[in-house]
């Protein structure tokens, strides 16, 4: 082996990989979210990480996007998926005749984007989406997706606030100015309102044809933030254009459903500057922030879309969905020291000394595991002192010593590693004692 050429072990840059103690916490977060989704009657879906390029690029008319991992295998032109929404559209389209609508599905999975890796940006990362799909979805489902953030973040011990808008309000306003052809560009400008200076925003608006009065009106809308009544009073007289008023009525219904669902007042508000980047949103849009940490950016968002399957089947399929940016959220929690990674994967370490005490300890290990206690024999051939050191380093909270004396008297010495106290107990008492903790 000495003269064999070694290959430097390395991982692709920007690809998500945690150390095991971090992964333990990350999986715990995923499990908690999955339980909330199931409790809210969402069904799990798991689609392939790879799809035909034709499917994934349907939206862009087959154009090659630099950000996409695309390759050929045999005769197949295939891509790694870049989101979970296009695979959902493909799945719903393929199974349109056998699915029960409304179809409530959640999916947590890896997606791929060939971006230049940088802080907070990954090439392989997790997305976590919950969507409700149907042929005709009342606005109650928009409210359900918004409300869903509450139990999700409660499960993670985080306080969040969801900011809600409806794209029809701004679309209707631009229509009232005769600028309906510029709506897409103007939405992109509005989406930057938090990132650019007010002067920069104003000059972009002017480039797109707005005059000073119109810009004032727009800022009245964008600055409207608060309860539904508050924002309604501020903006209702700006225009009577039907799209605008429809957006306001839809928000009113969503607000009323949220109240019926007992969403707490302090966990949501309306903010008409929310538009979301994606142009497929057609009505309700929302973003979720950690309370008191709005500066960290949205950790989730979603909204209503009216034509999920348009590229694949000749049916109008609506949807409303929410997502949580779990890779980013985990990154924030880690950076802000909001997670304790010092949990041991072992509840009890068992120390033995020779063949006989090893067998005695292994029997105990099985018994404890069968009682739901994470017990592990410290099994390498090393001294008692070295094993105690190992237990300390691994922050194992309890140690059970299985020595010759213990074997003879059919007992075990239980040591609390934090208090350094120890007691000699028979098996039944050991299990009682550990279950107390």
* Binding flag, residue 136, a copy of itself (CB under 8 A): yes
Instruction: Find residue 322's DSSP bridge partners.
Output: 130, 302
Mask of contacts with a copy of itself, 6-35, x by CB under 8 A? xxxxxxx--xxxxxxx-xx-xx---x--x-
* Binding flag, residue 91, a copy of itself (CB under 8 A): yes
Mask of contacts with a copy of itself, 96-115, x by CB under 8 A? --x-xxxxxx----x-x-x-
Residue number, 208 or 307, with CB nearest to a copy of itself? 307
Residue number, 395 or 413, with CB nearest to a copy of itself? 395
Residue number, 141 or 153, with CB nearest to a copy of itself? 141
- 87-to-34, 46, 57, 413 alpha-carbon distances in Å: 19, 10, 11, 56
Within residues 50-69, the interface with a copy of itself by CB under 8 A covers 50-52, 54-55, 58, 69
Q: Which of 120, 138, 277, 426 binds a copy of itself (CB under 8 A)?
A: 138
Closest contact distance (angstroms) between CB of 46 and a copy of itself is 6
* Binding flag, residue 145, a copy of itself (CB under 8 A): no
DSSP 138-186: -THHHHHHHHTHHHHHHHTT--EEEEEEEHHHHHHHHHHTT-GGGHHHH
Residue pair 49/68 in contact by the 8 Å Cβ criterion = no
Strands across the sheet with 412-416, in order?
375-377, 348-351, 398-401, 412-416, 422-425
If one counts every other C-beta atom within 10 angstroms of the C-beta of residue 171, the result is 24
* Binding flag, residue 393, a copy of itself (CB under 8 A): yes
CA distance 33 to 347: 25
* Binding flag, residue 328, a copy of itself (CB under 8 A): no
Closest contact distance (angstroms) between CB of 318 and a copy of itself is 11
* Binding flag, residue 3, a copy of itself (CB under 8 A): no
Residue number, 34 or 234, with CB nearest to a copy of itself? 34
Q: Which of 177, 193, 358, 424 binds a copy of itself (CB under 8 A)?
A: 358
Closest contact distance (angstroms) between CB of 345 and a copy of itself is 5
Backbone angles phi, psi at 397, to 5 degrees: -70, -30
**Peptide bond before 197: cis, by omega within 30 degrees of 0?**
no
CA distance 150 to 254: 16
Residue number, 165 or 255, with CB nearest to a copy of itself? 255
Strands across the sheet with 50-52, in order?
50-52, 76-80, 70-73
């Amino acid at each position: 082996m000495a003269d064999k050429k070694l290959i430097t072990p390395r991982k692709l840059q920007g690809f998500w990989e945690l150390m095991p103690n971090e992964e333990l916490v990350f999986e715990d977060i995923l499990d908690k979210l999955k339980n909330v989704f199931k409790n809210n009657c969402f069904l799990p879906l798991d689609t392939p990480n790879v799809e035909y390029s034709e499917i994934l690029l349907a939206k862009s008319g087959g154009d090659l996007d630099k950000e996409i991992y695309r390759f050929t295998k045999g005769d197949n032109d295939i891509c790694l998926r870049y989101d979970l929404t296009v695979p959902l559209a493909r799945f719903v389209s393929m199974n349109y005749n056998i699915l029960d609508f409304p179809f409530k599905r959640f999916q947590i999975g890896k997606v791929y984007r060939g971006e230049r890796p940088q802080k907070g940006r990954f090439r392989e990362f997790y997305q976590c989406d919950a969507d409700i799909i149907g042929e005709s979805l009342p606005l109650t489902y928009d409210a359900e997706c918004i409300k869903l953030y509450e139990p999700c973040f409660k499960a993670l011990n985080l306080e969040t606030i969801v900011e809600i808008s409806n794209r029809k309000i701004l679309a209707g306003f631009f229509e009232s100015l005769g600028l309906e052809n510029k709506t897409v560009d103007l939405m992109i400008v509005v989406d930057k309102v938090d990132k650019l200076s007010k002067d920069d925003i104003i000059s972009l608006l002017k480039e797109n044809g707005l005059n000073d009065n119109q810009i004032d009106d727009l800022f009245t809308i964008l600055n409207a933030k608060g309860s539904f009544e508050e924002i309604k009073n501020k903006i209702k007289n700006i225009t009577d254009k039907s799209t605008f008023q429809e957006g306001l009525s839809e928000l009113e219904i969503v607000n009323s459903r949220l109240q019926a669902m007992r969403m707490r007042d302090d966990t949501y508000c309306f903010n008409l500057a929310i538009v979301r980047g994606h142009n497929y949103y057609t009505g309700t849009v929302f973003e979720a922030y950690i309370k008191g940490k709005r500066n960290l950016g949205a950790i989730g968002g979603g909204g209503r879309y009216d034509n999920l399957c348009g590229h694949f089947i000749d049916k109008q399929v609506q949807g409303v969905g929410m997502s949580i940016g779990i890779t980013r959220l985990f990154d924030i929690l880690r950076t802000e020291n909001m997670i304790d990674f010092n949990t041991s994967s072992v509840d009890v370490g068992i120390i033995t000394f020779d063949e006989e005490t090893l067998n005695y300890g292994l029997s105990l290990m099985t018994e404890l595991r069968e009682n739901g206690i994470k017990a592990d024999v410290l099994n390498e051939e090393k001294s008692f002192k070295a094993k105690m050191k190992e237990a300390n380093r691994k922050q194992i909270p309890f140690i059970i010593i299985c020595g010759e004396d213990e074997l003879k008297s059919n007992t075990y010495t239980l040591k609390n590693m934090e208090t350094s106290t120890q007691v000699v107990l028979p098996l039944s008492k050991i299990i009682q004692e550990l279950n107390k903790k």
